[in-house]
Structure 1
Amino acid sequence: MTAAPCDGLLEQVTAPVAGHGEGPVWCPADRLLRWVDMLAGDILSLDPATGTIRRRHVAPVVAAVRPRSGGGLVAALERGFALLRDDSVELLPEIWSDPSVRMNDGGCDPRGRFYCGSMAYDATPGRAALHRLDPDGTVETVLTGLTVSNGLAWTRDGDRAWYVDSATRRIDVFAVDPATGALRDRRPAVVVPPDAGTPDGLCLDVEGGVWVALWDGGAVHRYGPDGSLTAVVTLPVRRPTACAFGGPDHADLYITTSRQGLPADDRSPAGALFRIRPQVPGFPDHTFAG
C-alpha cells in the first residue's frame, strides 16, 4: 500500500505537553484549538495567533470535548458526560458504574447530538459501547459489543458517518437515516494492514476524504471516499492519536500524539501537537445543541 507524501510542511506546534493527547477540535467562537490530556483529566487550548497554551483540570479523566452552540463545552468524562462553562462543571448522571471501563472518543452529529464511545482499560473485546447525549440531556446507548471505540465523524452533507473500532483494524461507514439521524447499514470501507499501525481518531475533508491517525504507525493516512489511500503524513513519533481541521479557514490539520506506553528513555516529541496544511481543507465540526 503506497501513496504520495502529503503536501505541506509538518510543524511541531507545542512541546510534549500531554501524556496522552487526544481529541483535537477547533472552537470557532474563541478561535482556539482544544484537545485533551485524557488520563490527566485536563483540557488543553492553543491560541494559534499568539501561541498561548492553557490547561484546565476538569476531572480524573476527560476523554473528548466539543463546543456547545450556546457557549461552553460538552465533555465526556470517565463514565459519563458533563457540561462546562468557564467557571463551572455540571456533571450529568454516570452511564455505568464499572470502574474498569472508560469513555474514549467521539463527536457531534449534524443534529447537535454528542456521541462518545468507550473501552475497557485493558481493552477486553466486546466490553465497549457507543453512547449518545441528546440536547435535552437524555442518553442512549446506540452500539454495543465494541472493543476500543474511537474516531467518529460525519460527512459534510450528513448522509454518512465514518467510524473506527480500533480492534477491528478497519474504518467503517454508516449510512445515516435522513428522518432520525440514526446510524445504520454499517460496512467496512478501509482495512489497515498490521504493519501500518492501528486506526485511531479521524476527521473528514471537503472532498469526503478521511484522515486517520495510526497508533504505533507514526503517521496519518488520508483515504478517498472510495477507500483508496491517497496521502501519508509521516510524524516523528510512534503514537499519533487523532486529527482535526482547524483555523479560521479550517485548512490546518492538527494532530495529537501520546507518550502512553513508551519507554522512559524515549526522546521523541511524543505528547506534542503537530500541524500541517494539506491541499484539501476541512470544514467546521458540528457543535452540541444542548
Structure 2
Amino acid sequence: MTTGAAPVWRACTPARYRLAEGARWLDGSLLFVDLLRGDLHRIRGVGGGGPEPLLRLNMPLGAVAPTAGGPPGRWIVAAGPGIALTGARGALDWLARPGERPDRAMRMNDGGCDPAGRFWAGSMEVQAATGAGSLYRTDPDGTVHEVLDGLTVPNGPVFTADGRLMYLADSARGTISRYAVDPATGGLGTSEPFAFFPPGEGRPDGMAVDDEQNLWVALWGAGRILCFGADGTRLRTIPLPTPHTSSVAFGGGLMYVTTALHRLERPGPLDGAVLAATTDVTAPPAVAYGPISGA
C-alpha cells in the first residue's frame, strides 16, 4: 500500500476471530489478542506460518506488552478484572484488580506502554454501561494508578515518540481526546478534543502513531482506517473488505489490521481475519514495560 495506491489485503491467519484486537509489532513479528477467548498470538507476516499461541488465560485479554529485564516470555497483561504479570505456564501475578466490583461486571480493554515503559490500560463494563470505565497507569515499580474515570469504551491509549502527548479514544462516544503528559512522571495535564465521529461514520477503536507523528485509527463498523495529522487534518482513508476493523500496526513493510466477526449475521470471507497490505508507512515497535524494582 504505497501512497495513493489501492491496498491489496491478504489474510495472515487461517482462523477467523470473534474479536481480534491489540495489534503490536515486536521483534519482527505481529502480536495480537483474541480478546474474548483470552489468547495471545504471534504471526510472522503473510505466509510466515502460524499463528503461534503465546498465552491462553481463559478470561478476556484486552492488551499485552513485553517486560524489560525479566525472564523470557514474561508479559504484563490487561486481562479479566485487572492488570497482572504472567509467570510460568500462564499463571498471573496480579498487580491490581480494580474490576472486581460487587455492583458491576467489568473487564479490561485496550492498552499499551508509553515511551518511558509505563503500561496504560482501560476498563469497561461488559455491556458498555455509560461512564463505568476508567484508565489506569502501571508504573515500573508495579504500582497501579487510576488516572481517568467516567469513560465508556476506552481504546488506545497511544503516545507520540517524545511521550508528551497521549491519544485516547472512547469508542462508544465516538471521540478521540488528546492529553498532555509529563514524560518524567506520567502525570496527565490538559486535554483537548481531537476527533469526533457521528454514529454513521463508525467508532474509533485501536490506534497507532507512525514515525511522522500521524495518528492512525481503526474505525469499527466502517471498514476503514483513517490517518490524521497532528493538527487533526484527515490525511488518508484506507478502505478494507470487512466492517469491523479493530486495531492497526506497522512493521516489516506491512500495515496490519485486526478485524472481528462480533455481531455480524452474515460474515464475509475476510471478516475476523488479521489482514495485511504493503505500505510505505513506518512506526516504532511496541515498547516494553519497565522492570519492577527488585524483580
| TM-score scaled by length of structure 2 | 0.89
- Report the RMSD for the aligned CA atoms in angstroms: 1.9
1:119 aligns with 2:121: no
CA contact 1:104–1:116 (8 Å) conserved in 2: yes
Query: Which residue pairs with 2:59 in the alignment?
Result: 60
* Alignment counterpart, residue 165 of structure 1, candidates 154, 160, 170: 170
Q: Tell me, what secondary structure is at the counterpart of 1:15?
A: coil
Alignment partner of 1:52: what SS? coil
Residues 26-65 of structure 1: matches in 2 within 5 Å? Answer: 26-28=25-27, 31-48=28-45, 50-55=48-53, 56-65=55-64
* Counterpart residue type for residue 57 of structure 1: R
**1:74 positional shift:** 1.2
Residue 96 (structure 2) pairs with residue 97 (structure 1): no
The partner residue of 1:106 within 100, 111, 115 is 111
In the other structure, the counterpart of 1:289 is 290
Question: Post-superposition shift, 1:89?
Answer: 2.5
Q: 2:204 aligns with which of 199, 206, 219?
A: 199
SS of the equivalent of 2:91 reads strand
The amino acid that maps onto 2:164 is D
How far residue 181 of structure 1 moved from its aligned partner, in angstroms, is: 2.3
**Ranges in structure 1 where 5+ consecutive residues have no aligned partner:** none
1:6–1:278 CA contact under 8 A, matched in 2: no
Give the C-alpha shift of residue 15 in structure 1.
2.8
SS in 1 for 2:172: helix
Distance 1:178 1:214 in 2: 28
> Structure 2 regions of 5+ residues with no counterpart?
none
Alignment of 1:85-234 (within 5 A): 85=87, 87-92=89-94, 93-98=96-101, 100-234=105-239
Q: Cα distance, 1:145 vs. partner?
A: 0.7
Aligned residues: 281
Deviation at 1:32, TM superposition (A): 2.6
Tell me if the contact between 1:133 and 1:140 (Cα under 8 Å) persists in the aligned partners. yes
Q: Displaced runs of 4+ in structure 1, greater than 6 A?
A: none
Equivalent residue for 1:278? 279
C-alpha change, 1:6 and 1:94, in structure 2 (3 Å) is: farther
The answer to whether the 8 A contact 1:6-1:231 is kept is no
Structure 2: how far apart are the matches of 1:21 and 1:226? 30
1: distance between equivalents of 2:178 and 2:16? 33
Kindly tell me: are residues 289 and 164 of structure 1, through their superposed partners in 2, closer, same or farther at Cα, counting changes over 3 Å?
A: same
- 2:255 maps to 1:256: no
SS at match of 2:231: coil
Normalising to structure 1: TM-score of the pair?
A: 0.90
